Structure 1
Amino acid sequence: MPHPASPQLPRGGAAASTRAAADAALQAHAAAPVLAALPLPARAALLRNLSHRLAENADTLTDVAESETRLGVERLRGEIRRTQAQLDMFAGLVEEGAFLDVMIDPPDPEAIPVPRPDVRRILVPLGPVAVFSASNFPFAFSVLGGDTTSALAAGCPVVVKAHEGHPRLSELTWELVAQDLPPGVLNVVHGREAGRNLVSDPHIRAVGFTGSTAGGRALFDLATGRPDPIPFYGELGSLNPVVVTAAACAQRGRNIAHQYVTSVTLSQGQFCTKPGLLFLPVDHGMEERLRREIAAVTAAPLLGDWISSAYRATLAELAHHPAVQVLHMAQCSDDSRLSIPALLVTSATALRAHPELLQECFGPASLIVTYASPDDLLDTLRMLPGTLTASVHGQEGEDELLLRSLAAAMDAGRFIWNGWPTGVAVTPAMHHGGPWPATTSPLHTSVGSRAVSRWMRPVVYQGMPDEFLPEPLQRANPWNVPQEVHTGVIG
């Protein structure tokens, strides 16, 4: 049930009002100093308790999620486990304390050319954060998803704008955990108007978004156009090119064809990391194998009408382009919710001449691009927009200069060798981001432990008496966090 301290915040349909966003942001503002001052062990315990709540209610949550998203029970159960793993990882990060990035430069009265004062640096939470849920990850990028979890780990209260594709699940998830949180630390609002109001609200200090390029760009402009501009961390569209060398085609062509179609159609292609472009040598000889693989894929419901209509429109535009041939496209069903698995073909030369083909088709379709030579390939890769991932399938012993050139030609946040981009490991080193239009901030990641840095800013204390310093900067270090002490630095 809702937290007793938040009775005035409207729920359900009423939460689309201007007041809903304003009330939630105001509550988050009041909760910000409370959460920021919470000792790290208590903050870590808060995150672990959220993980336990998910585990305890996994059956109920899965049933509601399946009724709203149709993603499949096994996929949804796996996503709950992934969400728990994110919560547990950030709990460990908070306990360890290194994410505060404490740096200390002791005073040196003998420093040249001038005496150096005592300088101590720490990262502090930005304040209340707005998080926009994603349609295709109702747990991992939703109410308790990575954006929420990393913000709470940083010490920032969160207001989640629930996705219209799974409103009941969002509400249920919030109700199951809100009673265990301090008032105002986590709230949920519904509706696009509430989302826009959140981005504009003066109490909100940063925004996390996962969704379409058009929607993300509109909110990005809103966030940066405020009288007090705020950071907007948006993960938008991505083409995720995959390059296959001639040697890899000759050695593993059949297997590559199977794995490619599997990656393209996983969850009906509703992943931001789906391979949207496959580069093959012009004489690859895999046409029939690729046609059989995609023809074997069964059409299934997409997440919602808004995705189905956009997918069908984009697929039709690409398929009817004069520079594109259809290798295989499933029969269009009378049920507009169903996907249409498809593989389209063009050449590298045609792609360079028609950059309008470089658009994300969010669903089980992909464009195969044939190249005539390494130069033909490299010239085309260099004109691709920024992307989340870029993959190369090659063989050991191939031209090392060519393989290095392939990676250098693509602007991506994650490079993959002999693998596929779908499936983002929740690990400390993972970077899930990339240059525009993949994200609005290529310096940051929305997956992995470094995601916490989005919600923090550095503050330096110079010559401050020890008793006035935050606990992690004090000489006694009562929070027992790692302190990086510098000596012999230039004065």
Structure 2
Amino acid sequence: MVKLNQKSYIAGSWIIPSSEVFQSKSPVTGKALATYNSCGLAELEAAASAAQTAFAEYRVCSHIQISEFLNTIAEEIESLGDQLLETADAESGLGIPRMTGERARTCGQLRAFADIVAQGQWVQASIDTAIPDRKPVPKPDLRRMMRPLGPVAVFGASNFPFAYGSVGGDTASALAAGNPVIVKGHPSHPATNELFCHALDAAITRCNMPRGVFSMLQGATHELGGELVKHPVVQAVGFTGSLGGGRAFMDIAASRPTPIPVFAEMGSVNPIFVATDAMSTRGEAIGTTLAASVAMGTGQFCTSPGVVVTTGNADFNTAVAKGLSETPRGLLLNDNIGNALVRAVKEITARSDVKWLNQVELSDSDTSTPPNIVLKTSAQDFLVDKTLQEEIFGPVTMIVECDNEQQMLQVADSFEGNLTATVHATDKDKTQANALLERLEQFAGRVIYNGFPTGVEVCPSQQHGGPYPASSAASTTSVGADAMLRFARFVAYQGLPDAYLPSALKNDNPLNLLRKVNGELTQSKILPVYTGV
């Protein structure tokens, strides 16, 4: 068992900063669990300096070295055993079964990126050989591939302490692409963050990696996060959290003397549309399953369905209300989430255009175990007031009732960016479903048919992102193989002699990659037609 020292981890050293103290707290009992000191500018500067030094060495590590490093991190996480599960459960209240599954996902992500790196194809090597005697202008030798950006700042999320935590998908994909990482650990689970640092420390030692390749700053202040994004060493940001937090980091990054990209996953209501025949033939069943999806994880998934668009059906409404009312209340992760939920529900249910279908008394004590809530409004009111589209993070969904199918399309046209959008339909709904699907792909990163958005399969074909405000970069994904492309950029090499080229672009193809050579995919070697002389 690892002995927790209640410190931050900076480039191989364990540090107790002199800044303010904060504590993690059990969502179950409300009692304090562990005490940590927030990092300040001195600790940030030390982590940034070490990351910059490490980048020079880490960026030129071979694909095999980085692959082994990622696999070793996964092994070290697993070697923490039950201590990691129990610590995360104490700080999050998510339960041992949930944490066990999330650990498997986290280690699976690391190993998946390790395989991608080992194969080498992710660099997208492309070669156009020279034609020195081309008329009227000679053609130069041009070769292009993806290269790492530099040190990446990662912000851990509260709702997934492992999969989006200190060594979650953002950290794993940034390391896979050849970048050092500085993590700002989430203050809700600092002891969990520390255990991950012990795993990283062991993996760095085993693989002889530069110490500055990973640092983790504990802290509960917003100022620390802002200063991290501002630091000139940091070249990109990975963030999962609220729209307010993500937008603040986007603005800070854009205002730097040298702006940097922020890859932020933010709010999403993940609308579900129920077509006419699907509603009449299986509306009650859809409503029951919808209730389970809304209540899953106490609604604290970024893919929780927060809006359901229908043409009105009393049995459907009853099924949703009954399913949510009968589902046991779950725990919210922290006081901030609970206070925001209670405040938002009180505000929206005070409106005359919103009805609470399964209403119960809501008190300030419900900030830890809120009721599962279904609201209802009309499409007419929904269309004229954009605030009804705002996410309420927790087990809350809103049914939007349309007068007809045409009004349902108008509602679809009104949505801003979302992570997902869903259509439930039958073969008889083909015309309506086609019209909806054409619209849904305009504002959603993942379009679902006869399913539910909760649950994100980690695989190469997954897209976890969407147009703003769901994420800050609609063309990227934070899940799946392409997540590492966020932290790399294309570099073209013109006229370089073979000896100076990266291995992926050399004539004899030492990595045995499938490369695009003069427009054709091939693993063949290239004759040295151009020497650069």
The residue type equivalent to 1:433 in the other structure is G
CA distance, structure 2, for counterparts of residue 223 and residue 206 of structure 1: 9
* Residue 212 in structure 1 maps to residue 218 in structure 2: no
May I ask how many residue pairs the two structures share in their alignment? 487
Task: Tell me the secondary structure at the aligned position of residue 419 of structure 1.
Answer: coil
SS of aligned partner of 1:380: helix
Q: Which of residues 170, 188, 192 is equivalent to 2:216?
A: 188
TM-score normalised by L of structure 2: 0.88
Q: Cα distance, 1:33 vs. partner?
A: 1.9
Amino acid at match of 1:218: A
Q: CA deviation at 1:474?
A: 1.0
Task: Verify the 8 A CA contact 1:393 1:419 in the aligned structure 2.
Answer: yes
Instruction: Give the counterpart letter for 1:297 in structure 2.
Output: T
Is 1:139 matched up with 2:162? yes
Work out whether residues 128 and 517 of structure 2, in 8 Å CA contact, stay in contact via their aligned partners in 1.
yes
Post-superposition shift, 1:368?
A: 0.4
State the partner residue of 2:27: none
State the shift of 1:301 in Å: 2.1
User: Is the Cα contact below 8 Å between 1:106 and 1:487 reproduced in 2?
Assistant: no
| 8 A Cα contact 2:276 2:429, kept in partner | no
CA distance in 1, matches of 2:69, 2:378: 53
Equivalent of residue 403 in structure 2, options 355, 372, 378: 372
Q: Which residue of 2 aligns with 1:102?
A: 125
Task: Write out aligned runs for 1:49-60 (5 A).
Answer: 49-60=72-83
Q: Alignment partner for residue 13 of structure 2, among 7, 18, 24?
A: 7
- The correspondence for 1:458, drawn from 475, 484, 490, is 490
Is the partner of 1:399 in helix, strand or coil?
helix
Structure 2 unaligned blocks of 5 or more: 3-7, 18-34, 521-533
- In the TM superposition, residue 195 of structure 1 has moved relative to its aligned partner by 1.5
Deviation per CA, 1:372-427, whole angstroms, max 9, x where unpaired? 11111111111111100000000124233x22221222310000000001111100
Alpha carbons 2:47, 2:212 under 8 Å: kept: yes
Amino acid at match of 1:68: E
1:407 corresponds to 2:437 = yes
Residue deviations 1:226-270, cap 9 Å, x none? Answer: 001001111110111000011111222222111101111100000
Instruction: Name which of 254, 263, 267 aligns with 1:233.
Output: 263
Q: What is the CA–CA distance in structure 1 between the aligned matches of 2:323 and 2:337, rounded to whole Å?
A: 24
Is 2:300 the partner of 1:270? yes
**SS at structure 1 position matched to 2:427:** coil
Identity of aligned residues (%): 37
Instruction: Pick closer, same or farther for the CA change 1:374–1:41 going to 2, 3 Å.
Output: same
- Paired letter, 1:305: D
Letter in 2 for 1:310: A
8 A Cα contact 1:86 1:426, kept in partner: yes
CA displacement 1:101-122 (0-9 Å, x = unmatched): 1100011134354221110001
What pairs up with 1:285-364 in 2 under 5 angstroms?
A: 285-332=315-362, 334=365, 336-364=367-395
Asked if 2 retains the 8 angstrom alpha-carbon contact of 1:18 and 1:193, the reply is no
Equivalent residues of 2:11, 2:47 under 8 A apart: no
1:17 aligns with 2:37: no
Letter in 1 for 2:385: H
Query: What is the RMSD computed on CA atoms of the aligned residues?
Result: 1.8
Q: Judge conservation of contact 1:58–1:77 (CA < 8 Å) in 2.
A: no
Task: Measure the CA separation in 2 of the matches of 1:421 and 1:73.
Answer: 23
Which residues in structure 2 correspond to 1:5-154 (within 5 Å)?
Answer: 6-7=12-13, 9-10=15-16, 13-154=36-177
Cα distance in structure 1, aligned partners of 2:16 and 2:125: 40
Residue equivalent to 2:309: 279
Can you list the C-alpha shifts for 1:354-384, whole angstroms capped at 9, x where unaligned?
2221110000011001111111111111111
Q: Would the alpha carbon gap of residues 221 and 288 (structure 1) be closer, same or farther in structure 2, given more than 3 Å must change?
A: same
Residues 99-150 of structure 1, C-alpha deviations (whole Å, 9 max, x = no match): 1111000111343542211100011000100000000000000111000000
Q: Does residue 440 of structure 2 align to residue 417 of structure 1?
A: no
CA contact under 8 A between 1:20 and 1:194: conserved in structure 2? Answer: no
Paired AA for residue 275 in structure 1: P
Q: How does the TM-score come out when normalised to structure 1?
A: 0.96
Give the distance between the partners of 1:15 and 1:250, measured in 2 at CA. Answer: 56
Residue identity opposite 1:121 in structure 2: R
Query: Aligned partners of 2:259 and 2:192: how far apart in 1?
Result: 32
Q: Which letter does structure 1 place at the counterpart of 2:482?
A: R
8 Å Cα contact 1:106/1:119 also seen in 2: yes
Shift of 1:38: 1.0
Deviation at residue 10 of structure 1 after TM alignment? 4.4
Q: CA deviation at 1:9?
A: 4.8
Higher mean displacement: 190-199 or 370-379: 190-199
Q: Which moved more, 1:179-188 or 1:341-350?
A: 179-188
Deviations 1:263-312 (A, max 9, x none): 11100000111001001222453232222111102222200000000011
> Structure 1: which amino acid aligns with 2:514?
P
Amino acid at match of 1:443: S
- Partner of 1:82, secondary structure, is helix
Cα pair distance change 1:487/1:84, threshold 3 Å: closer
Secondary structure of residue in 2 paired with 1:345: strand
Secondary structure of residue in 1 paired with 2:421: strand
- For 1:174, the equivalent position in structure 2 comes to 197
SS of the aligned residue for 1:346 comes to: strand
Please state whether the residue corresponding to 2:315 is helix, strand or coil. Answer: coil
- In the superposition, relative to structure 1, how do residues 3 and 164 fare at CA in structure 2: closer, same or farther (>3 Å)? closer
The amino acid across from 1:260 in the alignment is L
Q: Distance in 2 between matches of 1:207 and 1:282?
A: 43
8 Å contact from structure 2 (residues 179, 487) kept in 1: yes
Q: Secondary structure at the match of 2:419?
A: strand
Distance 1:87 1:353 in 2: 45
**Structure 1 partner of 2:462:** 430
The answer to which of 256-265 and 328-337 deviates more is: 328-337
What is the CA–CA distance in structure 2 between the aligned matches of 1:478 and 1:3, rounded to whole Å? 37
Q: Which deviates further from its counterpart, 402-411 or 214-223?
A: 402-411
The answer to whether the 8 A contact 2:76-2:203 is kept is: no
CA contact (8 A) 1:65 1:138 kept: yes
Alpha-carbon distance change, 139 to 348 in structure 1, aligned in 2, over 3 angstroms: same
Q: Secondary structure of 1:179's match?
A: helix
- Mapped to 1, the partners of 2:261 and 2:78 lie a distance apart of 33
Summarize deviations over 1:44-89 as a string: whole Å, max 9, x none.
0111111112222231111000110001111111000011111111
How far apart are the structure 2 equivalents of 1:397 and 1:248? Answer: 8
User: How far is 1:332 from its partner?
Assistant: 2.7
* Residue identity in the other structure for 2:71: R
What secondary structure does 1:452 align onto? helix
- Mapped to 2, the partners of 1:87 and 1:487 lie a distance apart of 32
**Aligned partner letter, 2:342:** R
| Stretch of structure 1 that moved more, 206-215 or 9-18 | 9-18
Q: Cα offset for 1:176?
A: 2.4
- Work out which structure has the larger RCO, using CA pairs closer than 8 Å and 6 or more positions apart in sequence: 1
Distance 2:89 2:517 in 1: 51
Change (3 A) 1:9 1:469: farther
